[in-house]
Amino acid sequence: LYKKIKRWIKENKQSIMDIFEKHRNKPYPKHVAFIMDGNGRWAKELEQERSYGHMMGAVHLVEIITDCFRNGTQFLTFFVFAEQNWKRPPEEIKRIFEILYKKIKILDMEIDYCNFRILVQGRLDRVPKKLRTILERVQEKTKDKEKTVIIALDYSGRQEIIRACKRIMASKSDITQDTMQNHMYVKNIPDPDLIIRTGGEKRISDFLLWQLCNSELYFTDVYWPDFDIVEFKKAIADYQSRERRYGNISRC
């Protein structure tokens, strides 16, 4: 395997360096959101249980988060569990929550070294109590940090919009872009500049429906557990090569 990796780096070195060089001076997106897909298929290819894929899906997180925060990104959102995922077998759901719990537990134990705040976007009332408690605790402990990692958990974009509408109506305010913005699960977060979906599917699947208004979308066939820093840099380079117009005319 070591030889294989060495050969791969040798063969791809130029293109990796090109990507790094070409976009070296361009800014990273301020907010990147991830639809982390392909864990199950990745595990299946290795003749492993699906949950092995969920577990291995966490291995590149640290390098991606570190790289982002070092290069100017302020907000990261990870779609950890969709409301639609409740349709999965209970055993798999249990494992996903266990894996998340373990990761958060490590973070909680090393909280002094954590340089970002954790925010949950979604519902905490239906997840296991143990997970809810620890997430509430780390949210509280990290609330003054400058950078932000958002965990979309038991999340549905449609439900978020419905919930916002109901709350605005209850407060007898007008439904406007501003009031909607102020009634989302997490407040004062700029919309994602870039949404990355791994695993080959080209759809949004109820993710950030309100917030994706002007987001750039990047789709890759790479399964989430294989989505490492090199793959991430490719996504960033692709984003940096795009011209964002927000409905205006082209500058070219």
Under the rule (CB under 5 A), what is the footprint of Mg ion? 37
Could you please report the per-residue DSSP string of 159-171? HHHHHHHHHHHHT
Alpha helices in 23-60 (DSSP H): 39-45, 50-56
122 binds, among ligand IPE, Mg ion, none (CB under 5 to 8 A by kind): none
Q: Confirm if 157 and 206 have CB atoms less than 8 A apart.
A: yes
Query: Left if phi > 0, otherwise alpha if psi is -120 to 50, otherwise beta: which for 78?
Result: beta
CB of 9 to Mg ion, least distance (A): 29
Considering 12, 18, 67, 85, which one is annotated as catalytic? Answer: 85
Other residues' Cβ atoms within 10 Å of the Cβ of residue 15: 11
Position 96 contacts ligand IPE (CB under 6 A): yes
- Contacts (Cβ under 8 Å, ≥6 apart) of 221: 199, 200
CB of 147 to ligand IPE, least distance (A): 24
Q: Which residue's Cβ lies closest to ligand IPE?
A: 40
Among 29, 38, 192, 225, binds ligand IPE (CB under 6 A): 38
Q: Confirm if 80 and 54 have CB atoms less than 8 A apart.
A: no
Among 34, 39, 107, 151, binds ligand IPE (CB under 6 A): 39
For residue 85, indicate whether it is catalytic.
yes
CB of 249 to Mg ion, least distance (A): 38
Q: The sheet that has 216-219: what strands, in order across it?
A: 116-122, 147-155, 75-82, 31-35, 194-197, 216-219
36 binds, among Mg ion, ligand IPE, none (CB under 5 to 8 A by kind): ligand IPE
Q: Which is nearer to ligand IPE, 152 or 164 (CB)?
A: 152
Q: Confirm if 194 and 218 have CB atoms less than 8 A apart.
A: yes
Region of 7-15, 31-39, 140-148, 154-162 interacting with ligand IPE (CB under 6 A): 31-39
Considering 37, 39, 154, 193, which one is annotated as catalytic? Answer: 37
Strand partners, 75: 31, 148
Reduced to 3 states (helix: H, G, I; strand: E, B; else coil), residue 47 is coil
Q: Which residue's Cβ lies closest to Mg ion?
A: 37
For residue 37, indicate whether it is catalytic.
yes
Q: Which is nearer to Mg ion, 37 or 160 (CB)?
A: 37
Position 36 contacts ligand IPE (CB under 6 A): yes
Contacts to ligand IPE by CB under 6 A: 36-41, 54, 81, 85, 96, 199
